[in-house]
Every structure is written in C-alpha cells, then in structure tokens.
Amino acid sequence: MKIHFKKLAAMCMALTMCCGALTGCGNNDEKPAYSLETTAADNGNNAGNNAVPPPGDSEENTEGGIKAVFGEIRTEYNENLDLSDYPLTASEVPEGYSLTVEAESGEFSGSAAAHDLPEASGGGFVNGVNQEGDELKMTANIEYSGFYDLNFQTMGSNGRVNNVLVDGMKVGDITTTDPVFFADTPLNNIYLEAGEHTISITPSWGYVDIDCVIISAAANPITEADYAVEPTLTNPNADERTRRMFKFLCDVYGKYSLAGQYADEGRASSEFEKITAKTGKSFAVLGLDVSGYSLGSKAHGSESRTIEYAYDWYNNAGGIVQLCWHWTSPEDYAVNAGDHPWYSSFYKEGSKLDLDKIMNGEDDAGYQLLMDDIDNMANELARLRDAGVPVLWRPLHEASGGWFWWGDCEPESYIKLWNAMYDKMTNEHNLTNLIWVWNGQDPAWYPGDETVDIHGWDIYAGNHVDTSQSGRFEDMAHNYGEKTKIIALTENGCVMDPDKVMNDNARWLFWGTWADPFTMKLGVVLNDEYTTIELLTKAYNHERVLTLDELPDLKNYPL
C-alpha cells in the first residue's frame, strides 16, 4: 500500500511542478517567480539574517508581500524549553526470564492451520499465513511489566517479511531468513504490561512456517547512552547555523519528538492550513521533495519552488527543513513509455539505470550523468547555503526495499554512490549547510559513521496503527555503525501516540507524515483513515511533542 500511494503522490507532485499551478505552465523563458537574496555571502554563518525571498514583481518584495504568499513572519521564540532529562521507563522483568508459546496451541483464521512435526519444539507448527484474512493468534500470560524480546521460530524463503501484532495492534515485523529449518526471527524491545496478551502473525509477504515464540527479558534494552549523541557533524566545516541546529537536535533527543509533515508548498499548503486550524498547532519539521530539480525532470519542463518554500520555513517561520530526493532518471535512462512516464522514473520499473554497472566502471556515460545531476542538485542546495538555511538532507532513501533505481543493485554499488555524493557535495561544492540523514533501512547498505549524521526509518504500519515501533528503533540503535546516532521517523503513515513513544523508550527525534492520502484527502480535508483527528490533536498538543511555536531561535541557539 505504501509504495502504491507514494507513487500516486509523487506523480501528482511531478505533474504539479511541471504544469505549475502557481508559476504557470511552460514559461521556461520567464524569470522564476521567486529568487533568493542574502545580505551577506559567508556560507551561512550569518547570511540571510534580514533576507526574504522576493517575488519577481518588485512591489511584492516587502514584508507584506511575503505575508500574503506565505503567512505571518514569526518573531517570537521559546527561550524556556525544559531540557532536563525525561526518565526512561524501567523494566520489572527479571534477567533470565523466558516463556515459550507454541504456535500449534494458538487460534487460526483463514487458511492458517496446524501440522504435526516431531522435530519442532512442541511437536507441531503452523503454516498457511499467506494472504489477507489469514492469522495466527497465540496467547501469552505475562508475569511482569517491562521490555521483552519476542523471538519467533520461523522457516521460509529468505527475506520474507510478516507482521507482528500485540492485542490486535501492529508493533513491528519479522524477517524470516532460513529456508531449511526453524530459526531465530526476533522482534526486540517490546513493552508488555503484566497480564494476558494476544500475539499474532499476519501476512505482509506471507508464506512462512511458525514453530513458536520465545518471550524473554530484553537482552539489549534502550538506555540513556543511546540518547547521548555528541553534537559533532560529519562535515568538520559545517557552518555555524547548521552546527547550532544540530546542537538543538542533540539536546532535545530523548526528551521530545518534533512534529513533522510533508507539505509541498510549505506554509502555503493545505496541510499547514488544515492541521493548524484543527489542532491549534503547526508542525516543526517541514518535509519537501527536490525531485523537480533533477535534470531528468527539467528535461520535461519541470519547475519547482521547493528551495523557496524551504527558505521561508526556516528564515520566516523559524522551522526545520527536511529534503528528500525522488531522483528521476537522466533523460537517456528513463523508460518514459506506457505505464512508466518520465515522472515515475525514480522507480526501477521506470528506469534503465544499472547502478552496479555504473559504479563498477562498466557504464561511463551513466556515471557521468549521475555526477552531473549531483552537481546540478548541489547548485540548488547552495542557494540555501548562501541564504543561511540548514537542511536535513535525505537522499537515496529506502534503498534496501529495492523499489527505487538506487536500490535495484548490490549494496556495495549503493554505498559507492552515497559516498560519491557526500564527497562531491561536501568537499567539491562546499555545502556546509547539510545534515546528512541516511535512510537505507538495512545494515548491509550502511555507508559508515563518517558520512551519516542521523539515522532514519520510514514506517507505514497501517490504518490507525499508533504504536511506537520500538523494535525497529532498538534495531537501529544497536545494529547500525559504531557511533551513537540520532534516530528519526523520516516518513510515516499514521502518527504515533506520543505516550507510547515515551513509555516504550522509542523516542524518535521527529516524525514526517507523508501528505496525500495519509494526511489529506484529495488535498481538501484532513483524512482520518490513517490517523484519527483525536490522535492528531493529542499528538500536536502533547507536552513531549514540540511544534513550530515551541521551537527556540534556531539561528542563535547556543553552541
């Protein structure tokens, strides 16, 4: 579901950028509707203190003109943010505690069924959890409140992913890797209250055999050390404003989550208007996509104002910007036919790029086109650097899923591309305003601590699934690299319940709810099919969630 909806959203976004409801369609010879100007050119250390993005029409180059387009310019900031430690939830589970629940003793729905097998732990197993409507439910009587590792003994084709639910609510997923016999398939760090619980498996991929689940005291729980991130960026030449922002992020990590939202038009978006009107609060982290600046998009007349919206969000609204890149293929490598138009060429089906050949030196032309596009994107990001705007930069996301062209390859090829981009943008183009957010979602794809500032994960758990996904958080905290890094929920469908996020010690730095359909319905009204209005309002007004009005002055945050 996630990929399908994101495809629709991205296609609509690309069409909007190409036809430009605000900028007009096909006016390639006209001056862009907005440009950026700064009062000082010092790579962002003090640049842009009084700068605004003036419209092309000079009479709108005033504070009133900016307000008319983007809304009121923020002038007041929270200078009394409570940064005292927020205690982690303690676990009452004694070391060495273990409980085994046999699958064949559970309840079955759909085609799920039990079978005898003397070699299995209880003499039997369950299969037939294959398609919608199939489910295995196991009942566990838990003695102690606290954190548990759920170790499912499963067998199936390598890489099969399926859902785990506790009391009917998805808490994470498990990946089966052994096709020969039942092997460990863990989901760790799940908080359970003492009492009876139903632990279920439902199909995501399906076709998995289940022997049992071993419930034991969490072996590697989240501790205070997992939130003790040094405020040092991987780029030693990061500019002052970027270092100030990163220091703020490190200071609040583990104490708060930042409300985040994708909204293609920033403060001019329906998301901003509707969420603010309904909850009384506005998101702190604005997610935007720079796909429209790709050379493959520009070849088809695409125009974008993402840089202008990013500028406004930081300089005028006082917020934080996250940029992702649905990187459309270079023109010569886009399928651009039938069901695969150019604006979907970031998907592997719409692309002719073979990243293994490109990064192994077998396709020099393809390599040069990718490097040209990185140069092109660096020039766009340099506009924000020169205007003093720090950016949470999240390229090459969700690679291990394999649905984008940059993930349709061996991990080594992806890592080479990541490092080439990092090197060009950091050292060649001197982009001192980037905080590098890696979102590859598998340790095998991790490029290394030296080029990653923040770890990100994208979770689309389903309709009204507000759990903290603490198993995924623990996995990222302990199995990716050697250094302690900030962990963020870089994309999500349903907003997590902040009470569960804090209680489960899975304190994602920020969330980033995708737009249509996860937030808006056809861009007109808030869609409660994923997040209820009640939960949305609760989250935006929660004492442990920071919204736009609660941010300090990030430009002058103390180092």
Pairing of strands 320-324, 285-289: parallel
pTM of the predicted model as reported, rounded to 2 decimal places:
0.91
Contact (Cβ atoms closer than 8 angstroms) between residue 556 and residue 520: no
Sequence-distant (6+) residues with CB within 8 A of 375 are: 424, 429
What is d(CA 157, CA 76) in angstroms, rounded to the nearest whole number?
56
What is d(CA 136, CA 109) in angstroms, rounded to the nearest whole number?
7
Contact (Cβ atoms closer than 8 angstroms) between residue 522 and residue 218: no
Contact (Cβ atoms closer than 8 angstroms) between residue 247 and residue 557: yes
The domain limits of the chain are: 2-23+70-85+224-551, 98-217
Q: Is 491 a catalytic residue?
A: yes
Q: Is 398 a catalytic residue?
A: yes
What is d(CA 506, CA 519) in angstroms, rounded to the nearest whole number?
23
Q: Would you tell me which CATH number, out of the four given (3.30.70.270, 3.30.365.10, 3.20.20.80, 3.40.190.10), belongs to the domain 2-23+70-85+224-551?
A: 3.20.20.80
DSSP assignment of 22-90 equals TT-SS-TTSPPSB----S--STTSSTTTT----BSSGGG-SHHHHHHHH-PPP---------S--PPPP
Buried b (16+ CB within 10 A) or exposed e, 331-342: bebbbbeeebbb
What is the mean pLDDT for each group of 10 consecutive residues in the chain (559 residues)?
A: 42 41 30 40 39 37 56 86 96 97 97 96 96 97 98 94 97 95 97 98 96 98 98 98 98 98 96 97 98 98 96 97 98 97 98 98 98 98 98 98 97 98 98 98 97 98 97 97 98 98 98 96 92 98 98 97
DSSP state of 510: B
Pairing of strands 135-142, 107-109: antiparallel
Buried b (16+ CB within 10 A) or exposed e, 434-447: bbbbbbbbbeebbb
What is d(CA 471, CA 505) in angstroms, rounded to the nearest whole number?
10
| Predicted pLDDT at 44 | 41
Which one from 104, 308, 474, 491 is the annotated catalytic residue? 491
Report domain 98-217's class: mainly beta
DSSP state of 555: G
Sequence-distant (6+) residues with CB within 8 A of 501 are: 257, 468, 507, 508, 544
| Predicted pLDDT at 65 | 56
Which tokens go with 338?
């039938």
Candidates 208, 211, 206, 18; CA nearest to 130 is 206
Which one from 60, 398, 410, 474 is the annotated catalytic residue? 398
Candidates 443, 451, 445, 457; CA nearest to 488 is 457
Site of tokens 């208007």: 273
| Predicted pLDDT at 68 | 60
Our separate counts of H helices and E strands in the chain read: 12, 23
Is residue 114 classed as helix, strand or coil in its secondary structure?
strand
∠ CA 483-488-491, nearest 5°, is 140
